[in-house]
Structure 1
Amino acid sequence: MLIPKNMLLSRLRSRAFPGKALRFYSLLNNLRSASTLANASHGVKSPPKPKASYVQRLIVVSAVAAAGYAVDEYYYESLVQRSVRALYVLLWIAYEYTRNIDSYESIDDLHEIAAEKLFSMLETNRGLYIKQGQAIANQGSVFPVAFQRRFVTLYDAAPKDSWQLIDRILKRQLGKNYEKEVFEYIEHNPVASALIAQVHKARLKNTSTDVAVKVQHPYIEKQIGVDLMVYRFMSWVYSKAFDLPLSFFTKYVADQLEKEADFRIENSNAKQLASLLAHDPAMNGMDIYVPNNFDKYSGRQVLVTEWIDGISLTDKQRLINSKMDISKIMKQYITVFGRQMFEYGFVHSDPHPGNLLVRLYKGKQQLVILDHGLYVALPRKFRMEYCEIWKSLFNFNTDAVERISQEWGIGSTDLLTAVVQLRPPKDADINKSRSSYELIKSFLGDESRFPLQLLFVLRTMRMIQNLNQSMGSPVNRINIFTKSAIQLLSNDPWTHRSLRDWFLLIQLRVSLFFSDLVFWTFRLRQILTGDRYGGKGEGMEDYIEKYMRDTAKSLGIEIVDGM
């Protein structure tokens, strides 16, 4: 039996809306029925339901969009806009390289367009996106020339916030009346600015102590969580799209970046390095200094530290004009980082020249290390193996290097030796037939065994090489690091040394001696040709760099000037 529509609706409503609700719907239906009958008896048609006009809809949508934009812009530091922008560009790049590459006349055309889109996005998003771009620039040779040329300019992208924004953070950390109660004065214009923070000079109240007040950019705190989430997601997408093991180190890198944004960790890092240097007999007389921090005024977003008047290593000409000993500077620099890597297992992983000052203190030339936000801890097992590689490379002990390569899950022993010492691979002729893509896959053979600390160690090593080269290669970088490695192995109480080991140690020292002869041959030629401080490309690091460029070119990898 068919049930009339009205009766069916009535039954459904009686089940869904019992009691008072049922009586309300019954009354409503009776009124509708009466109205319908009245209209029918008078020949009156029911008026059509009003429809919202297109203009009304447009106004509502626009208002909602404007409100959403305002909330995102002023309360959430553009989190949604930045994330959508990043996801669009990064997904577009992945699609073009994997699904639409045939639509371009040449791969270079795609490189140019992709590099421009990515560069524009990073520059617009600022913050940690710029830091990721700098990481690309630092490892530029892995990327096409179009990326290298653009991304090297990101090192100059340091934003400055207004005093009004900085003042809010300082009031939250130091109290509303901090300008009167904490400082005698504080300069409202920053003396320096970087991606995560900017620095203001000040003087503590009732003292003659000048301090550097490092204040985090206000948007970093809100942006960092979402930015790193996007970074993790896109690493996963790219690892799938390009069949490269990229995502396995994503969490490790993200964790390090998150620590860098917490100034309490930076405060702790600075104190730990200062303590290690103070208790290391090998560093006596090396004149390395870490500025003191003021815990009372420091927190997660603010760090107050001792003010140091010195010359930045970015200003080579001023160092020369001030009669500073460039060779001593570089020896101090490389020695202290050698101790960090091989002895302390606690490595400052952002050793670019802007984080280093030189000053005369009590008549002695002193190297000052700044910005302790990014450190990497190296387990003893990793340090011993890393030292073993350096020693084995000079002893031509390929078996030891091969063994460590396998333990680290690295498929190419020759590439490992190249990236450790930053020299060209010996087996370049064999590798000529292999693409850079194949070389990367070969290097990251088994990601489950790959020591993630190696990523930051290699980054640090590359920065050290660049600075030594820019200063004219005044010291033998490879020898200084190798001697630090030997010292750790020689002092290790767990290492059993046979007669053969002592023979290998003598052989190693002979190799170091001849390495120094080669270095001084280059150095003497520099001095005679007027290239003491670099610029003419006559130093040992210049030779190594040129050799690496030629080797890279034979492998299909282009390295542009300035990288």
Structure 2
Amino acid sequence: MFRNASLLSHSSRRTLFHQGTAPSRWRKRLQRTSLLVLGLGSFYTADRIFNASAITRNLRTLYTCAIITLDYKLNFTEEKSESIPELHARVAERMYNLFTSNGGLYIKIGQAIGANAALLPKPMQEQFSKLFDDAPQIPYSEVLRVFKAEFGRPPCGPDGVFEIFEEKAVASASIAQVHRAKLRPLAGDTEDKWVAVKIQKPDVAKQMKWDLGAYRLVMYMFEKWAFDLPVYFVVDFVSDHLRRELDFILESENAKQTAKFVASEPRLAKKVYIPRVYDEYTTKRVMTAEWISGVRLSDRTGMRLLMGESNDSTQATVPSSVNLSEETSPTFSFPARPLKGGVRSVMQTMVELFSAQMFSWGWVHCDGHFGNFICRPNPHDPTVPQLVLLDHGLYVRVDEDFRRDWSLLWTGLLTADFKSVERITRKWGMGLPDMFASVALARPVRLTRKNRKTEAERVTKELEEYMNLSQYEQSARMKAKLKQFLIDTDRMPKALIFLLRSMRIVQGNNQSFGAPVNRVKITGLWASKSLTRLSNLTFGQRLREYMNDIVFRGVLISLDVAFWTTRLKQRVLALFNLKSPSFEDELEKAMRGLMRNNVGIDVGGAFKG
């Protein structure tokens, strides 16, 4: 009996022990969980306040990269070939969400990757083309803080920098936003001076090192883990130019340098304008330039109305002023009569401007999309248009040796001097000269002379073979071709990355207006003319280049015939309300076919962002 009582006593003690410790254990767990949540919350808050969420953003990047890598390792196999398009779409969506969620410099990084999007699967081309430089504006309190740090005083007020400063930004982009302001009048001023004030967002500088580190990681992942494509070699070059975009003093110097080049070129001096920069109101994080009124080229309805090519009798509301960050503000008062020359004259000037930059100046604006162009009545002659170029943060400088090769490449392509083309592409560490030539001209090129019927049969056969390949085999073929294309990335001029992107943008700008000008011919003529102006030529060499230029112009007659035949067809069909593809549309279609059949790349439309 005593033994049973002892057992009962022991059992009771165990029950009482567990009853007493269970709440204690749960209490400890709750305390630990609370401390963990509090710690993570404190870390998140401190990171957000003192480090502009840089660590949190990069943890998000690491997580996304890990998921993408794992997804490709598990699902990019021959056995799962049919699901590869879905795999590419998932990865593209994750990358797009990462860049848009992090914002800031990530948008610029995404655009830099988008410069090479043609080398990536089609879902990525589509997603990266949607990365527009747009973002919510920071509050005025942050603007005030930047001004006090840069100038030691507020934007306006009795001791302010400007007489008037509009607190609401007229535009906000990924790294900066723009406000409209009015300068204080000086002795002798007869009219108000309104300016566009570009202010860098405070978080961007804090995030820069982290973001560029993340860019390096993403590109390494693309090359080594996910796509097995040679893309990492551009990281240092691109990172350096992204850093430069954050220094507004450098941007102001870029603008002034471009203005000098424009003024020195008689063919462009009155047709192109670069807004004046006010150095006394410009620092590393604040840039002030004159406010220019006009119509953005991205507003096709407004442009056609301004140039007298619209059937709309009502005066639409069109942007009146475009500032340094691509946006506009109040309505623009159209002149009583449309400007002369039509949209064709504006596109002619735009193509000539970029041709001069590439072949004559070696000083190339690398963000020439429609948001950075406006058109206004020319102050020298208000009956004709003047093109205004904005946003001078991203430029690439190329030396005379490169410009000579670049010019020879263009003239060689258009005069069938295929030996010169192949020599230059090999010099730049590239295989597949046909492919590079096609990318450079944004038109299909074959560096061989073959019977047309035989060539057509070969292309048809290649297409049939390509279409019969599985998704996995198509991807493998694309990788193999790209590796043949980029043989030696150390020898490749890194500036080509931006130049080819700029050419693609110019093509897209012309194409969006129905290709009113022969872009290829205009660019070729500038390339040929630049060879006659090289600085180190002897008299005999210069004379020979002038003779070559005359011959070159004669060769281009056939290209002009093809262009005007297409234009005539467009106009005839327009009389019957029928649409016909433009010259650029036909080049685009042929280009897509060439790249798909020979390389396995499904090239998307011209750059949108």
Q: 2-side partners of 1:297 and 1:480: how far apart? A: 39
Contact 1:72–1:79 (CA under 8 A) maintained in structure 2: yes
AA aligned opposite 2:573? T
Distance 2:214 2:528 in 1: 43
TM-superposed CA distance for 1:483, in Å, is 0.9
Matched with 1:309 is 293
Give the conservation status (yes or no) of the 8 Å contact 1:327–1:475. Answer: yes
Distance change >3 Å, CA 239–CA 150, structure 1 → 2: closer
SS of the equivalent of 2:132 reads: helix
1:275-334 Cα deviation digits (max 9, x unpaired):
11112334344x211011111111111101000011111111111112242111111111
Q: Is residue 350–residue 387 contact of structure 2 (8 Å, CA) maintained in 1?
A: yes
Aligned to 2:141: 164
Match of 2:376 in 1: 359
| Shift in alpha-carbon separation, 1:326–1:144, aligned structure 2, 3 A | same
Task: Determine the structure 2 residue equivalent to 1:10.
Answer: none
TM-score by length of 1: 0.85
Partner residue of 1:91 out of 66, 71, 77: 66
Contact 1:122-1:130 within 8 A present in 2 as well: yes
Change (3 A) 1:310 1:508: same
Q: Match for residue 509 of structure 2?
A: 467
Q: 1:461/1:172 Cα in 2 relative to 1: closer, same or farther (>3 Å)? A: same
Return 108-117 or 262-271, whichever deviates more.
Answer: 108-117
Q: Summarize deviations over 1:415-466 as a string: whole Å, max 9, x none.
A: 1111110112427949766822222212211011111011010011100000
SS at match of 2:35: helix
Q: Distance in 1 between matches of 2:256 and 2:524?
A: 27
Q: Which runs of 5 or more residues in structure 2 are unaligned?
A: 1-20, 187-191, 308-338, 448-457, 467-473
| Cα distance, 1:178–1:200 mapped onto 2, change above 3 Å | closer
CA distance in 1, matches of 2:528, 2:264: 20
C-alpha contact 1:288 1:369 (8 A) present in aligned 2 = yes
Cα distance between partner residues in 2 of 1:404 and 1:379: 15
Please tell me the residue identity of whatever aligns with 1:461: M
Give the superposition deviation at 1:526. 2.1
Residue identity matched to 2:385: Q
C-alpha distance in structure 1 between counterparts of 2:578 and 2:507, whole Å: 15
1:327 maps onto 2:344 in alignment: yes
Task: Kindly indicate whether the alpha-carbon contact (under 8 Å) linking 2:115 and 2:497 is maintained by their aligned counterparts in 1.
Answer: no
State the AA in 2 paired with 1:322: L
Cross-structure match for 1:280: 265
Per-residue deviation at 1:559?
4.1
The CA deviation at 1:488 is: 1.2
Identify the residue that residue 567 of structure 2 maps to in structure 1.
523
Whether 1:349 and 2:326 are equivalent positions in the alignment is no
- 1:82-231 aligned at under 5 Å gives the runs 82-102=57-77, 106-155=83-132, 157-180=134-157, 181-206=160-185, 208-231=192-215
Q: CA deviation at 1:499?
A: 9.2
Which string of whole-angstrom CA distances, capped at 9 and with x for unpartnered residues, describes residues 318-362 of structure 1? 111122421111111111111111011110000011101111133
Residue 409 of structure 1 aligns to a residue whose secondary structure is: coil
Secondary structure class of the residue paired with 1:155: coil
From 439, 451, 471, give the equivalent of 1:419: 439
Contact 1:424 1:544 (8 Å CA) reproduced: yes
Specify the SS of the correspondent of 2:292: coil
State how far apart, in whole Å, the 2-side matches of 1:561 and 1:139 are.
13
Q: Aligned in 2, Cα 1:291/1:238: closer, same or farther, shift over 3 Å?
A: same
Contact in 1 for aligned 2:133/2:173 (Cα 8 Å): no
- When residues 531 and 155 of structure 1 are mapped into structure 2, their CA distance, relative to the original with a 3 A threshold, is farther
Q: Report the 3-state secondary structure (helix = DSSP H, G, I; strand = E; otherwise coil) of the residue aligned with 1:281.
A: coil
Whole-Å Cα distance in 1 between the matches of residues 130 and 235 of structure 2?
A: 25
Deviates more, 1:475-484 or 1:160-169: 160-169
Alignment-derived partner of residue 330 in structure 2:
none
User: What's the counterpart of residue 480 of structure 2?
Assistant: 438
Q: How far apart in 2 are the matches of 1:464 and 1:390?
A: 16
Deviation of residue 549 (structure 1)?
2.3
SS in 2 for 1:154: coil
> How do residues 26-65 of structure 1 correspond to structure 2 at under 5 angstroms?
53-65=28-40
Do the aligned partners of residues 330 and 405 (structure 1) sit closer, same or farther apart at CA in structure 2, a change above 3 Å counting?
same
Deviations 1:71-97 (A, max 9, x none): 011221111111011122123222322
Q: Assess if the C-alpha contact under 8 Å between 2:430 and 2:492 holds in 1.
A: yes
Matches of 2:395 and 2:347 in 1, distance apart? 21
Secondary structure in 1 aligned to 2:130?
Answer: helix
Q: 2:532·2:546 contact (CA, 8 Å) conserved in 1?
A: no
Please provide the CA RMSD for this pair. Answer: 2.7
Residue aligned with 1:491, SS: coil
Say whether 1:538 aligns with 2:581. Answer: yes
Aligned to 2:419: 399
- Residue 188 of structure 1 aligns to which amino acid in structure 2? E
Specify the code of the residue in structure 2 equivalent to 1:442.
Answer: Q
Larger-Rg structure = 1
Moved more, 128-137 or 395-404: 128-137
Q: 1:340 aligns with which of 342, 357, 363?
A: 357
Of residues 157-166 and 394-403 in structure 1, the stretch that sits farther from structure 2 once superposed is: 157-166
Structure 1 residues 293 and 508, CA gap change in structure 2 (3 angstroms) = same
What's the counterpart of residue 14 of structure 2? Answer: none
Q: Quickly say closer, same or farther: Cα 1:335–1:304, change in 2 above 3 A.
A: same
Task: Give me the whole-angstrom Cα distance separating, in 2, the residues matched to 1:535 and 1:284.
Answer: 39
Q: How far does residue 502 in structure 1 lie from its aligned partner after superposition?
A: 6.7
CA distance in 2, matches of 1:485, 1:74: 52
Deviates more, 1:507-516 or 1:354-363: 507-516
Verify the 8 A CA contact 2:508 2:606 in the aligned structure 1: no
* Partner residue, 1:492: 534
Question: Residues 472 and 531 of structure 1 are in contact (CA less than 8 Å); yes or no, is this contact kept in structure 2?
Answer: no
Offset of 1:399 from its aligned partner? 0.8
Shift of 1:66: 1.2
Q: Give the TM-score, by structure 2 length.
A: 0.79
* Unpaired runs of at least 5, structure 1: 1-47
CA deviation map 1:124-147 (0-9, x unaligned): 111122223334445443332322
Structure-1 separation of matches of 2:412 and 2:306: 41
User: Could you tell me which residue of structure 1 aligns to residue 302 of structure 2?
Assistant: 318
Show the counterpart of 1:478: 520
Check 1:372–1:409 CA distance in 2 against 1; reply closer, same or farther (3 A cut): same
Once the two structures are superposed, what CA deviation does each residue of 1:222-243 show, in whole Å capped at 9, x if it has no partner? 1111100111133233322244
SS in 2 for 1:347: strand
Letter matched to residue 503 of structure 2: M
- Confirm or deny: 8 A CA contact 2:199 2:285 kept in the other structure: yes
Q: How far, CA to CA, are the matches of 1:502 and 1:65 in structure 2?
A: 71
Residue 206 of structure 1, CA deviation: 2.4
- Asked if residue 556 in structure 1 is aligned to residue 541 in structure 2, the reply is no
Q: Report the CA distance shift for 1:138/1:449 in structure 2 as closer, same or farther (over 3 A).
A: closer
Q: 1:222 is aligned with what amino acid?
A: K
Following the alignment from structure 2 to structure 1, what is the Cα–Cα distance between the partners of residues 389 and 543?
41
Distance 2:544 2:115 in 1: 41
Alignment partners' CA distance in 2, 1:498 and 1:469: 35
